[in-house]
Amino acid sequence: MTALKNDTFLRALLRQPTDYTPVWMMRQAGRYLPEYRATRKNAGSFLSLCKNTDFATEVTMQPLDRYPLDAAILFSDILTVPDAMGLGLYFVEGEGPKFERPVRDAAAIHKLHVPDIAADLGYVTDAVSQIRKTLDGRVPLIGFSGSPWTLATYMVEGQGGTDFLTIKKMAYAEPALLHHLLDIIAQTVTLYLNAQIEAGAQAVMIFDSWGGALSHNAYREFSLAYMEKIVAGLIKQRDGSPVPSIVFTKGGALWLEAQAAIGADALGLDWTVDIGEARKRVGGQVALQGNMDPAILLSTPEAIEKEVASILASYGHGHGHVFNLGHGITQHTPPENAEAMIKAVKALSPQYHV
């Protein structure tokens, strides 16, 4: 494989010196880009974009061809994992992801097993290999998965964005049953991330999008403990290079100290926390990724530059910061506003690295 021409992102995750603060955006390949909407139309649906290697590669590259980003992220979805477990993923336009066969009781959960990654998720690792070839060392490729807790919320509730009462009732009334489910998912996610690493992923991110819905104690028991197991099970690249890991609990900024102790290299931050404060709390242990409110990208280039300057200044001098949004970019973002953010990071960050 070609040597990396730009390893700024990987160095920042390992808190090594860089010349500037690297930047990428969660959901950087997506509906805010007209070229994404065109490819999606050709593919017919979002899932056929994910399942076709050429389409997945094409949309992964689209934001990189437009902007000077420092990382690529595999185009896929966290819900490929429960789909591979047989739950029947589908998308309803305007309503988001759903499952035909949610697992709500002991009978359904006891029927689940760890899928055969090569057979059932081979389309994902094929995409990883093809994207690596297409990138040709331009920037590193991020592989990803959902956290066991976040995947379990979709599997038990049957859809996202609910009040989580079905799964929370299970957590409090039948904790052993939920632990059994989380354990199967954690085993699957470990194998899945390692298969992505074998196929060429150079960093991995675990999206715990719904961890913030848990209580202080339940978060540790039902979400963080499983992410800790996964991180401990991750392998290195074929050539022995480390694969930095990023753990992102949306709504989890109150618990950064606990997150910093699980062995991941970096923590993702949403916009509810001041990044300078977060650095004071955990910066000696982990790199930090974040944390601009994606809604700021709906404003003006001037407002965007001001916010970029404020986040960079708050993190301050030194290494270990990866600039990103605090959650995925929204589909209503004007592409030129994303460009204004990326350019501002490139222009304003070198002063913090001298």
Ligand X SMILES: Cc1c2[nH]c(c1CCC(=O)O)Cc1[nH]c(c(CCC(=O)O)c1C)Cc1[nH]c(c(CCC(=O)O)c1C)Cc1[nH]c(c(C)c1CCC(=O)O)C2
Using CA of residue 135, residue 138, residue 140, residue 142, what is the dihedral sign? negative
Binding mask 224-243 for ligand X (x = CB under 6 A): --------------------
Binding residues for substrate: 27-31, 77, 154, 209, 327
Residue type, 321: H
# residues near ligand X by CB under 6 A: 21
Q: Shortest distance, CB of residue 77 to ligand X, whole angstroms?
A: 4
Whose structure tokens read 């998912």? 185
Angle at CA 280, nearest 5°, toward 276 and 281? 115
Answer for the pair 49, 39: CB distance below 8 angstroms, yes or no. yes
Using CB under 6 A, pick the residue from 22, 30, 143, 294 that binds ligand X. Answer: 30
- Kind and range of the H or E element at 208? strand 203-208
Q: Shortest distance, CB of residue 285 to ligand X, whole angstroms?
A: 24
Answer for the pair 8, 19: CB distance below 8 angstroms, yes or no. yes
Identify residues 287-306 at the interface with ligand X (CB under 6 A).
none
Catalytic option among 20, 154, 219, 226: 154
Q: How many of the other CB atoms lie within 10 Å of CB of 210?
A: 25
What is the C-alpha separation between 189 and 195, in angstroms, rounded?
10
- Residue 96 interacts with ligand X (CB under 6 A): yes or no: yes
Using CB under 6 A, pick the residue from 79, 197, 287, 304 that binds ligand X. Answer: 79
> In this complex, which beta carbon is closest to ligand X, that of residue 338 or of residue 348?
338
* 238 has catalytic annotation: no
What is the C-alpha separation between 49 and 117, in angstroms, rounded?
19
Using CB under 6 A, pick the residue from 145, 147, 196, 209 that binds ligand X. Answer: 209
At what angle are helices 225-232 and 175-199 packed, to 10 degrees? 30
- Residue 99 interacts with ligand X (CB under 6 A): yes or no: no
Answer for the pair 48, 55: CB distance below 8 angstroms, yes or no. yes
Catalytic option among 40, 67, 192, 270: 40
- Residue 44 interacts with ligand X (CB under 6 A): yes or no: no
- Residue 265 interacts with ligand X (CB under 6 A): yes or no: no
Q: CB-hemisphere CA count at 13 Å for 263?
A: 12
What is the C-alpha separation between 240 and 330, in angstroms, rounded?
37
Binding mask 136-175 for ligand X (x = CB under 6 A): --------x---------------x---------------
Where in the sequence numbering do the catalytic residues fall?
27, 31, 40, 77, 154
| Site residues (vs ligand X, CB under 6 A) | 26-31, 40, 46, 73, 75, 77-79, 96-97, 144, 160, 207, 209, 250, 328
